[in-house]
Amino acid sequence: MKKKSILKKIVIALLLLLVVIQFFGTDKNSTAVVSENAIDKHYTVPPHIQALLKTSCYDCHSNNTTYPWYSNVQPVKWWLASHISSGKKHLNFDEFNTYPAKKKLHKLDEVAETVGKGEMPLTSYTLIHRNAILSDADRKELEAWAKEVKQQIR
């Protein structure tokens, strides 16, 4: 009897905690205006590459995330905010032109490498966002585009 009582209290406490944390929000990664420092404002980004970037990269690597319904539920909201913040620290396509030339070249190398190896987009992202999965042809196009932009920078 005592074990059931303790288990019941634990379950009630967890449910209460789950309800309470719903009132603690995070800032959404969303802006009304595209930054003047966005990569496509300074370098050639063909429409099909822009579409790939928007579908497979921009939710974590830009100033505008398209949020799914479950992003309003804690603790998922915190996890997504942390993930997006981390992604933007590594590379933000909307702030790309604020980077020094050396950093731009390095970031483009990383794009080519991580996309080429299938490390990006992350599996945790593509499990839910099936349309973000890149085909081999998509990966090769993104790698080639990154190399072209490097040439524009040099």
pLDDT surpasses 80 at 142: yes
Tell me the pLDDT tens digit for each residue of 104-133: 999 999 999 999 999 999 898 898 899 999
What is the reported pTM? 0.80
Three-state SS for 61-73 is: HCCCCCCCHHHHC
pLDDT surpasses 80 at 152: yes
Of the pLDDT bands very low, low, confident and very high (cuts 50, 70, 90), residue 1 is low
Q: For residue 55, give the nearest of 64, 27, 80 by alpha carbon.
A: 64
Residues 6+ away with beta carbon under 8 Å from 40: 50, 93
User: Burial of 92 by CB count in 10 Å (0-12 exposed, 13-18 middle, 19+ buried)?
Assistant: buried
pLDDT: which is higher, 135 or 72: 135
Q: What is the pLDDT of residue 34?
A: 80
Q: Is the peptide bond before 75 cis (omega within 30 degrees of 0)?
A: yes
Q: What is the pLDDT of residue 150?
A: 94
Question: Which DSSP symbol is given to 27?
Answer: -
Q: What is the mean pLDDT of residues 44-55?
A: 95
What percentage of the chain has pLDDT greater than the value 90?
57
Q: What is the pLDDT of residue 21?
A: 67
